[in-house]
Amino acid sequence: MKCESGADEMLNMEGISAEAKIGKILILVSLILGILVLLCIGVLAAIMYTAGRFFALDISLTIPLLILVPIFLVKVIGLLIGFLALNATERSDFSRAGIFAIISCVLPPLDIVMLIGGIFCLVSREANETRVAGESRQKSGPE
């Protein structure tokens, strides 16, 4: 009787290398932290908006609000690309997952956890196997 942990079953991590597991976990952690940051930015923007309306500070709080809204939108785009990276890890395409994670991490605000997860996905054995298989297919080519 084999006892499997719920985390391995939930994250579908059987049969992949340690680097790929670490990369997948770091991408997931980064997405959770990104959602929390997004909520904090949204709360700050809501507080500034309502404080400006209630206390007639409309002009003084408009400038920080104009800074927070683009940061919020760029963070949403970064999270969407991060979810694409997580989806690529679910399909065992760790090369694409690493590329998506690195693209997601450079969108402001910089996300170091996503960067490290993307690097682990790119150096994993699975990413190298797909790269080698793609190169061998290109070399054989249509004849």
pLDDT tens column, 70-108: 989 999 999 999 999 999 999 988 999 999 999 998 887
Cβ-contact 122, 94 below 8 angstroms: yes
Which alpha helices (DSSP H) does 17-57 contain, by range? Answer: 18-54
Question: Which pLDDT score, from 0 to 100, does residue 106 have?
Answer: 86
Could you say which residues of the chain have pLDDT below 70? 1-12, 52-60, 130-143
User: What pLDDT sits at residue 1?
Assistant: 46
pLDDT given for residue 126 in this prediction:
84
Q: SS3 for the chain, per residue? A: CCCCCHHHHHHCCCCCCHHHHHHHHHHHHHHHHHHHHHHHHHHHHHHHHHHHHHCCCHHHHHHHHHHHHHHHHHHHHHHHHHHHHHHHHHCCCHHHHHHHHHHHHHCCCCCHHHHHHHHHHHHCHHHHHHHHHHHHHHHHCCC
Distances (CA, A) of 79 to 12, 20, 37: 21, 20, 11
- Residue-level pLDDT at 68: 87
